[in-house]
């Protein structure tokens, strides 16, 4: 059984918020044009030994609202990452810090103990 760590609730909450924000940012990115600035589309030559032809349509670039939302996600991700990485808890785990950080990423997967 993997070692468990007594993560403080504020660290668990920050890690959960980080994962949720990262997922939301990635979903939002899927809706954006392929280029942040206007760029012409292109089509490459046919790939050797296949019929695949790589291409991209013209990109209108991000709107001001889209650019602001991307900036908001990046700022929030930086804030949450900093909160998690600089939390005082890490000073308490000694040489196990890498294992503890990996365990934190999966702490939400741990089943709650019966009767707790």
pLDDT tens figures, 22-35:
999 999 999 999 99
Q: What's residue 113's pLDDT?
A: 54
The tokens describing 30, both together, are 């899927």
Per-residue confidence band for 48, with pLDDT thresholds at 50, 70 and 90: confident
Averaged pLDDT score across all residues of the chain: 91
Q: Is the dihedral of CA 25, 26, 27, 33 positive or negative?
A: positive
Global pTM reads: 0.82
Q: List, in order, residues 6 or more apart from 107 with CB less than 8 Å away.
A: 7, 12, 15
Per-residue confidence band for 116, with pLDDT thresholds at 50, 70 and 90: very low
Q: What's residue 1's pLDDT?
A: 58
Residue 36 in this model has a pLDDT that exceeds 50: yes
Q: What's residue 114's pLDDT?
A: 44
Whether 90 contacts 6, CB under 8 Å: no
């Amino acid at each position: 059984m993997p070692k468990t760590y007594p993560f403080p609730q504020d660290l668990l909450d920050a890690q959960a918020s980080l994962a949720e924000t990262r997922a939301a940012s990635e979903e939002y990115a899927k809706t954006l044009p392929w280029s942040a600035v206007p760029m012409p589309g292109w089509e490459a030559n046919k790939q050797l030994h296949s019929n695949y032809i790589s291409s991209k349509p013209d990109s209108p670039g991000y709107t001001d609202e889209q650019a602001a939302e991307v900036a908001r996600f990046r700022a929030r991700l930086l804030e949450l990452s900093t909160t998690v990485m600089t939390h005082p808890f890490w000073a308490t785990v000694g040489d196990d810090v890498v294992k503890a950080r990996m365990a934190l990423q999966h702490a939400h997967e741990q089943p709650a103990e019966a009767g707790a």
